[in-house]
Structure 1
């Protein structure tokens, strides 16, 4: 009797388990067959500013970089300044020792000797004429001629001696303050580079030769941005447009600049036509920007202020027509209505809505994933 009861109970339990499995499978398959309901984020139009921008890459450099060159050939005997130091106009940067050319030196020495011989002769004649004038034998007119010849002879000797000093030393006693052997800065600014050293030979600047660069000097308070813009956007920019300049070496700090030059001719670079631009940079007194820093210039091409905006991802485009899904019902089930709108300026994230929506409307946004729903439900 007990065995029959146990077998009966086992049979009932087994049939119950089978029945539960069948029912569970049926419920699972039924849920699987039901259409999946997708929920969407609800977005409200907002007032804001939409800008379209372009970015030009380039570097910051002084507006004018002056190359200081010697006016006489020779050898550097002394360098008084180095890169990074500030100089004023007329301040000596280096000194040049002249190496005379033997032909010119010999000619200058010969001229001095000839002038001295001529002076000795004229001086002797002048002394004799002076005695004759005192005795009344020589007239005043004749004595004046003798005196003028004497002065001319003295001046000729002085000129010959100055010419010899210039050929031999590069400087004369009469021109010591404006000596060409002293290389002076022509502007007030900062020395960017001194490529020469003591002992280097240098060549003077003339009509046939640029000459050796002694130093480069620039005014570091007058800086410009020089960069390039692609041909697809060059037609949208013009002189006078404001620019936000970001210097890579200074982190996220930005500087204001004003576009002042757009090249009328493009150049091919890396397979694309690029146009050069220049912008005047406004530097505060507390900032020091070194020449050659790489920088990015952000140029605002178009701006729409205080306009109705929505995320561009919520807009559906069909040809030249734009549509959005306007919310008609949120709960218990989301219901949307397709509506045509007129769009304006876009920055790639936000887009301007000119017609078709108001600030009170709500539109369909991105679909909410199941994982997000599950996570939200799991939170207390």
Structure 2
């Protein structure tokens, strides 16, 4: 019995040894490597750069008050259209006590002078009718009375302006009524009834009552890297893609390239602007993020191959041209001169002919 067990053990050890030897032998044998075969093709090729930015109206105006006070009425909301001269809000003036006292004092003084001038005029008229004074003296008294009347009216108007910011005679030109300065769409109304506002002057920008823009004239504003700005120019066609409308592309024309760079994340970039053509049926909102595709170079009817097939070695480029496929694939290394690339395909200026086959990526075995 022990003899049989010993024999079986030896046989198993021999089988394991033989199996291991066969496995290692097979692993050590070289395998044929297969590659995808690619073909040259003739097509139009364009090198494109993408600038990121946003959409905004060309004309965007901040409406500011010409008088300080408190908002008493708001007539418009964001999203409404407005015409030039249309009222957006109304400001109630809060008079300054010093100015108010001065204006009231001026009115009282003008009333005193006015009453005296009228009394003098009545007395002078009686004397003039009795031919006791000359025409010259009468006319001087009449002129003084008229001046007193004008001064009284001016003092009263000034008091109204101090109190209300408006006079009855100039209500249509009131600075308390905040009007739009352009036709457009109201983008924002940051104030509410009861808010204090400051007038716009040399030393203060003033409180923004509303932001109004002409949404029929939109532009793309973005940045281009300094390595590419030298290859673009005004008038270049641009394709705009919006983050909110990714299935659509809009035509645009590059119309501005900044002469001065700005630093952005350590890179020098130049601001660009492009005028967008938007169909009437499409609504675009101010501030949409967008990408602008700008053509840097173009090659028409160019001989191209996939860029993944190119071997880069220093300043030289090579491809592997198929010379035989039976029984195994055979290739020869050939130097080529390349041109522009669109990121997928690359132009071959010399070194290859149409319809030649080249080596691609290695196949999964």
TM range (shorter): 0.7 to 0.9
Structure 1 match to 2:15 = none
Match for 2:188 among 193, 196, 214?
A: 193
Q: Tell me the alpha carbon deviations over residues 19-46 of structure 1, each in whole angstroms, 9 at most, x when there is no partner.
A: xxxx999999987676433333333211
Once residues 299 and 273 of structure 1 are traced to their aligned partners in structure 2, the CA distance between those partners, rounded to angstroms, is 18
What is the TM-score normalised by the length of structure 1?
A: 0.83
Structure 2 match to 1:5 = none
Q: Secondary structure at the match of 1:326?
A: strand
- Report the Cα offset of residue 223 of structure 1: 2.0
Structure 2 match to 1:39 = 34
Does residue 63 in structure 1 map to residue 58 in structure 2? yes
What is the TM-score normalised by the length of structure 2?
A: 0.86
Match for 1:206 among 191, 194, 201?
A: 201
- Report the Cα offset of residue 78 of structure 1: 0.7
Structure 2 match to 1:17 = none
Match for 1:108 among 89, 103, 109?
A: 103
Does residue 50 in structure 1 map to residue 58 in structure 2? no
Does residue 182 in structure 1 map to residue 177 in structure 2? yes
Query: 8 Å contact 2:261–2:269 — kept in the other structure?
Result: yes
Structure 2 residue ranges without an equivalent (≥5):
1-17
- Report the Cα offset of residue 276 of structure 1: 2.5
Q: Secondary structure at the match of 1:113?
A: helix
Once residues 79 and 199 of structure 2 are traced to their aligned partners in structure 1, the CA distance between those partners, rounded to angstroms, is 25
Structure 1 residue ranges without an equivalent (≥5):
1-22, 371-380
Q: Secondary structure at the match of 1:264?
A: strand
What is the number of equivalent residue pairs in this alignment? 350
Structure 2 match to 1:303 = 298
- Report the Cα offset of residue 335 of structure 1: 4.0
Structure 2 match to 1:347 = 342
The two structures, once aligned, show a CA RMSD in angstroms of: 2.7
Q: Tell me the alpha carbon deviations over residues 319-354 of structure 1, each in whole angstroms, 9 at most, x when there is no partner.
A: 333333333344455444443332211223211112
Once residues 275 and 220 of structure 1 are traced to their aligned partners in structure 2, the CA distance between those partners, rounded to angstroms, is 25
Q: Secondary structure at the match of 1:72?
A: coil
Once residues 361 and 197 of structure 1 are traced to their aligned partners in structure 2, the CA distance between those partners, rounded to angstroms, is 73
Structure 1 match to 2:3 = none
Does residue 145 in structure 1 map to residue 137 in structure 2? no
- Report the Cα offset of residue 199 of structure 1: 1.0
Once residues 19 and 105 of structure 2 are traced to their aligned partners in structure 1, the CA distance between those partners, rounded to angstroms, is 126
- Call closer, same or farther: CA 1:325–1:209 in 2, change over 3 Å: closer
Once residues 104 and 313 of structure 1 are traced to their aligned partners in structure 2, the CA distance between those partners, rounded to angstroms, is 80
Structure 2 match to 1:364 = 359
Q: Tell me the alpha carbon deviations over residues 296-341 of structure 1, each in whole angstroms, 9 at most, x when there is no partner.
A: 2222211112111111222333333333333334445544444333
Match for 1:132 among 113, 127, 131?
A: 127
Once residues 25 and 90 of structure 2 are traced to their aligned partners in structure 1, the CA distance between those partners, rounded to angstroms, is 99
- Call closer, same or farther: CA 1:140–1:45 in 2, change over 3 Å: same
- Report the Cα offset of residue 281 of structure 1: 2.2
Does residue 95 in structure 1 map to residue 90 in structure 2? yes
- Report the Cα offset of residue 260 of structure 1: 2.6
Once residues 339 and 252 of structure 2 are traced to their aligned partners in structure 1, the CA distance between those partners, rounded to angstroms, is 28
Structure 1 match to 2:318 = 323
- Report the Cα offset of residue 77 of structure 1: 0.8
Q: Secondary structure at the match of 1:266?
A: strand
Does residue 291 in structure 1 map to residue 289 in structure 2? no
Structure 1 match to 2:78 = 83
Q: Secondary structure at the match of 2:85?
A: coil
Once residues 60 and 256 of structure 1 are traced to their aligned partners in structure 2, the CA distance between those partners, rounded to angstroms, is 13
Which one has the largest radius of gyration? 1
Match for 1:216 among 206, 211, 215?
A: 211
